Structure 1
Amino acid sequence: MSEWLVSIAGTPEGARLATFLALFSALAHAVFGALQKGRHDPWLTRGAVDFWLAVLSAPIALFLVPWPNQATAILLVGVIIVHFAYKVTMALAYERAAYTVVYPVVRGTGPLVTVIAATLFFNEHFSAVQWLGVACLSGGILLLALRNLSEETLDPHTLKVGLGWAITGGILVAIYTTYDAYGIRQTPDPFTFLAWFFFVTAFDMPLIAVWRYRRMSQPPDLGPLLQRGLIGAVIAWLSFGGVMLATRLDKVGEAAVLRETSTVFAALIGWFILGEKVGPRRLFLMCLIGLGAVIVELGG
């Protein structure tokens, strides 16, 4: 399968598969967000997810895929650093501001910076129509964040700190998307990069989670936490794996933009499954985000 994926990279068939993978990744990421929404301490949630990522990825990395060569191993060191910074930043953001505020800010900032980075590092160029699509998508996501922000009851200082971490998280999304795309393109077998990516980036947060858990006056039950962590780990494989394969097959910028339709999927999940109110303004912004993704895809 690896040889087939490599062979269709840069072809119309590869572009179609990349589109599907990016949209599937968006849906999976929205489900992942809904699972962790406000239920547990963000540090514990991420620790549980990463614990299961290590458990599930170990046999694949060690026994099922070719081991990384020296160049890939060096790239994986950078992966550990970048993703650790992202995970810490997101946990700090979720500690200080609501999920409905943080998530759109991160997802709205990420694709805009990623498209710029893809232009600089991969020599990708968006047409004027596609830039209009990026503006619609990122603008819609950020306006959704402002709409949610108007309902926030935190004190202004705490909110500003949370938003600062959220913006930093969005920039780190762009950095890791660009870096991961470079890494998977440089690895002969893309599944080697994926398996080892999930394996080597999964050891940091469980250690932090254990440290915090032991210092809690009223720690939560481990059963529900580990159950959510297992589900989250499976979804993370689908979400991150899908978008990384998409960047291997086609343009990095387009994959990044399409993946941020996760905000629309998240809102739909909240509306139809979690029973949250959407309202006409949020519905309009969801349509604007979806329209932006369509413009980017059709304008290329």
Structure 2
Amino acid sequence: MTTILVTGSAAAIAMMALPFLPAPAAASWPFIAASAVLQVIYYSLVARTYALADMSATYPLMRGTAPLLVALATASFLAEPLAPMAWLGVAAICTGILSTAIREHSGHGKGVALALLNALVIASYTLVDGFGVRRSGAPAAYTLWIFLLTGIPLVGWALWRRRKAFLRRIADGWLPGLGGGLATVASYGLALWAMTLAPVAVIAALRETSILFATAIAGFVLKERVGRARVVGAVMIALGAALLRLA
């Protein structure tokens, strides 16, 4: 319900802003539709994964595997070869992110499997949007249409199947939900805008430095255990970001 509250807030923000923005080019609409479908799957998997296993273990697996898949796909199919130093940066970030997930996974096998499945979904919508936003001519509107088309079916499902629980979640947590909606629109909008200026694989890898903040939140807010492996991972992520900046 919290996940749907955030996506619903993002959809409401999009609904209010879209009338004031130029429409994306016609060539980008198939990509918007495909991305919206993938985003619905992504949010559903995120909610289920966090219900089964710790965020500090599964978030790095989801976000750390995806940029490596994107880098391999863009180099192979999108005619965006990376410089050797950029490959080193991508590899360092992926290694750092994945190393933060080194821990005992006993009892969380299904959560880990869902996290890895979601990595494939993340890589898929990243590639779709890398193609689509460049054809849109309007990165902001492209981003907002994705959130609108993602939020509508999720909120519709919540009102149909779990109306009382969803309305209760709105009453109890509308302010954090609104904050989450603003944050997700801003963060992904910036990422898509960046993809119009730089290789998709580089942006996908740099975006996942968010694991630094996720690990801190897991330790200090959620009171999860954050061990030495995750500290080493943070250093690797910082090194990878520096290599990408220098590439």
Shared fold per TM-score greater than 0.5: yes
Partner of 2:200: 252
TM value normalised by structure 1 = 0.74
Please tell me whether residue 86 in structure 1 is matched to residue 42 in structure 2: yes
1:91 aligned partner, one-letter code? A
1:210 corresponds to? 159
> Which residue is equivalent to 1:52?
9
Distance 1:280 1:88, change over 3 A: closer
Contact persistence 1:93–1:102 (CA under 8 A): yes
Task: Answer with 230-239 or 132-141: which moved more.
Answer: 132-141
Show the counterpart of 2:237: 289
Q: Which residue of 2 aligns with 1:39?
A: none
Which runs of 5 or more residues in structure 1 are unaligned?
1-43
Counterpart selection for 1:116 from 72, 94, 118 = 72
Question: Which residue of 148, 163, 180 corresponds with 2:129?
Answer: 180
Aligned to 2:56: 100
Does the 8 Å CA contact 2:98/2:233 hold for their aligned counterparts? no
Q: Distance in 2 between matches of 1:284 and 1:210?
A: 44
> Cα distance, 1:74 vs. partner?
2.6
Q: CA RMSD in A?
A: 2.4
Q: Residues 91 and 269 from structure 1, CA distance in 2 versus in 1: closer, same or farther, beyond 3 angstroms?
A: closer
State which of 22, 26, 32 in structure 2 corresponds to 1:70. 26
Note the alpha carbon deviations across 1:156-213, whole angstroms, 9 max, x for none. Answer: xxx2211111001111111111111111100122222122222222112212333453
Distance verdict in 2 for CA 1:69–1:295, change over 3 Å: closer
Change over 3 Å in CA distance of 1:52–1:270 after alignment to 2: same
Distance in 2 between the 1:160 and 1:128 partners?
Answer: 35
Question: Which amino acid in the other structure matches residue 11 of structure 2?
Answer: A
- Aligned-residue sequence identity (percent) comes to 30
CA deviations 1:106-140 (Å, max 9, x no partner) are 01111100111221333111233332222221112
For residue 236 of structure 1, give the secondary structure of its aligned residue in structure 2: helix
Distance 1:78 1:270, change over 3 A: closer
CA distance in 2 between counterparts of 1:53 and 1:208 reads: 16
Write the letter of the residue equivalent to 1:240: Y
Partner amino acid for 1:295?
L
Verify the 8 A CA contact 2:90 2:202 in the aligned structure 1: no
| One-letter identity of the residue aligned with 2:140 | F
CA distance in 1, matches of 2:4, 2:45: 14
Extract unaligned runs of 5+ from structure 2.
none
Cα separation, 2, equivalents of 1:64 and 1:102: 38
From 181, 186, 197, the equivalent of 1:238 is 186
Q: Say if 1:47 and 1:207, in contact at 8 Å, map to a contact too.
A: no
What does 1:243-282 align with in structure 2 at a 5 Å threshold?
243-269=191-217, 278-282=226-230
Count of paired positions? 247
Using the size of structure 2 for normalisation, the TM-score is: 0.89
Please state whether the residue corresponding to 2:15 is helix, strand or coil. Answer: helix
